[in-house]
Structures are given as C-alpha cells and as structure tokens.
Amino acid sequence: MPQGTGSKQERTVHMKIPCGEGSGVTSADREYMRLALDLASRGVGQTHPNPAVGCVLVRDSPAGPAVALLAAGVKRVVVGVGDSNPLVGGAGVAALRAAGVQVAVGCEEAACTRINADFFARMEAARGGAT
C-alpha cells in the first residue's frame, strides 16, 4: 500500500462522514464497532508502535484492514477513527474509496480514540504538536 506524503489531497481522506442520522451508519454498525473495540482492547499495550485495532467482518456489512477488504470485494466499511500516522496518511481509506467502497469514518470515534490515546499522542508528537 502506498505511503502517505501528507499532501492536502491525502489529508482530506480523514474528513469524517458523520455517523449520525443520514450517514448510512446503523445501530447494527455501532454494535459491530463496539465489538471491534472490545477486540482492539485485548491488544492494548501489545501493539506498539501501532494502534490497537479490532476488526469485525459481517456478511453484507464488513469492516477491517483495507488490503484484505479490497481482496474480499467488500462494498461498505465503517471506520472508528482515521489513522493519524504520517507514514500512512489515510492511504487505506483512500484506496477503499478509490475502489468504489462506501466508507464512513468516525463511528464510535471517542471510544476508538480513547483506546488508542498513546498512539495518537505519539503521532501528534511526531508532527511536532503538543501532547
């Protein structure tokens, strides 16, 4: 998968499609995201330098790593929070969208951010921001 360069175009893939009413994100999506968060929590403290990630593949409503999803021919992905790693630069979400996959970003975002607080703090520090 291509690495991000931090260009304006790549940064725009982090723009959220709200997970509220009219977003296409259902109560079932939220439940699946909570299951993914539960799976991710099992890896907290063991995935450094990467974030803790949980993936739940659901028939007709999949979510998970971009390469596997593209290979599986999925049509829709719900992402908890965008990846702020400057080496990635949103490439996974961009690749999914470029392949015609419907992607919603920001479902259960606060919980996803909380579970990966250390990761996001390191990414902010790497960009020269305050932690």
- Quick check: bond before 18 cis, omega within 30? no
Q: Dump pLDDT digits (tens) for 51-92.
A: 888 877 765 544 547 777 887 888 888 888 888 877 777 888
Residue 77: partners with Cβ closer than 8 Å, 6 or more residues away: 62, 63, 64, 69, 96, 101, 102, 103, 104
CA 38 to chain centre: 15
pLDDT tens digits for range 28-47:
788 888 888 888 898 888 88
Domain boundaries, given as residue ranges, for the chain: 8-126
The domain made up of 8-126 has a fold known as Cytidine Deaminase; domain 2 (3.40.140)
